[in-house]
Amino acid sequence: MIENIEEIKNLEVLERSFLGNTLFEYISFLAIFIVLFLVIKIIERVLLARLEKENGRVGKGSVKKLLIDFVLSIKTGFYLYLALFISLSVLTVPDSLMKFLQIILAAWVTFRIMMGVQMFVDWFLNRKLLDGADPGTEVAAKNIGTLIKALLWVFAILLLLSNFGVEVTSLIAGLGIGGLAIAFALQNVLADLFSSFAIYFDKPFTIGDFIIIGEQMGTVEKIGIKTTRIRALQGEEIVVSNNELTNIRVHNFKKLEKRRAVFEFGVVYGTADEKMKKIPEMIKEIIDKKEIAEFDRAHFKGFGDSALEFEVAYYVLSANFMDYRNVHQEILLDIKSQFKGEGIDMAFPTRTVHLFNK
């Protein structure tokens, strides 16, 4: 009889109500919360162990490694809140509080999903675009990644607001009109931005290339979002908009295996025929002595106003502009020196006046 009375009393205690819920419901809530949290953590541990085992056979940069990083990025606080939210279903909770907790959960889940999407975008760019890429391509890929992630965040926020009952149609329309106005105001900046992408991926030139644009020439030092910076031979920095670079003819000497050089000179009309015939061979010997020069031809070209004109063509076996300048200078100095030794006079503009007495 006494035992029955104690059991009844225990049942009465469990049925006592606090803030709209019985003690039994609170105990059930706590038990479900603990079990759910432990189950989630066990699943996390098992999943990580499985992924790490398979990733060891695949190597770095695999999808498995991406999933491992994503799972590890989820903190314990998220699991606690998720277990708490699900466990609250056994309790009687005010609708306003439940709605508030639901908003927090939806925002948190959206944030976690977007962080995973960002990790995937970075992984994809690193794997597909940045593997062995030059510095310019890396910058472009990162800029594109930033743009993609920004657009995805805007989409996620609009979707979240829509699920919360916010009317996003007018907001989207306003963003569209505002976007058009901004795009119109920043059309030059946007043109340079997209031109930078064209430069990065089409690669008309890269950092370190020697290029000529119009009357300016120099080495590319930096390809930015809006401008490209070129170091001129004189030492100054030339800043050119990317849009301009994609609309003009650019001479790129990076892939130039050898540079063809042509120059002319003249000797005086009094030069003997024997010396005239020796000049092409002399030029060939001078050029052949240069390590990075390759002789092509040397010919007596014609009769000028004040000189017997010769034309010489040769190749410089280097893409470097300074190599060309240096070897060309050496060739010209050697020609001058050897002509002096052979008694061959270089011509310069002269005029002979004949006077007749009548």
Q: What is the CATH number of the domain that holds 273?
A: 3.30.70.100
- Residue 286 is predicted with a pLDDT of 95
Sheet with strand 259-267: strands edge to edge: 259-267, 308-316, 293-303
Same domain, yes or no, for 338 and 269? yes
Q: Give the structural domain span for 206.
A: 198-252
- For 258-273, what is the mean pLDDT? 91
The answer, yes or no, to whether residue 251 has pLDDT greater than 60, is yes
How far is 15 from 9, CA to CA, in rounded Å? Answer: 10
Same domain, yes or no, for 269 and 210? no
Q: Would 174 be classed as within a structural domain?
A: no
Same domain, yes or no, for 268 and 296? yes
Predicted TM-score of the model (pTM): 0.46
- For 299-306, what is the mean pLDDT? 90
pLDDT digits (tens, 9 = 90+) for 181-193: 555 545 566 677 6
Same domain, yes or no, for 208 and 274? no
Q: Would 127 be classed as within a structural domain?
A: no
Q: Residue 23: which pLDDT band, with cuts at 50, 70 and 90?
A: confident
Same domain, yes or no, for 311 and 330? yes
pLDDT digits (tens, 9 = 90+) for 206-231: 788 888 888 888 888 888 777 888 88
Same domain, yes or no, for 268 and 316? yes
59 backbone φψ class: left, alpha, beta (φ>0; ψ -120 to 50): left
269: CB partners within 8 A, 6+ apart: 306, 307, 308, 347
| One-letter identity of residue 6 | E
- Residue 129 is predicted with a pLDDT of 61
The answer, yes or no, to whether residue 132 has pLDDT greater than 60, is no
Task: Locate all alpha helices (DSSP H) within the chain, ordered by sequence.
Answer: 2-14, 23-58, 63-73, 76-87, 95-128, 135-163, 169-185, 187-202, 242-245, 273-288, 321-342
Share of the chain above pLDDT 70, in %: 76
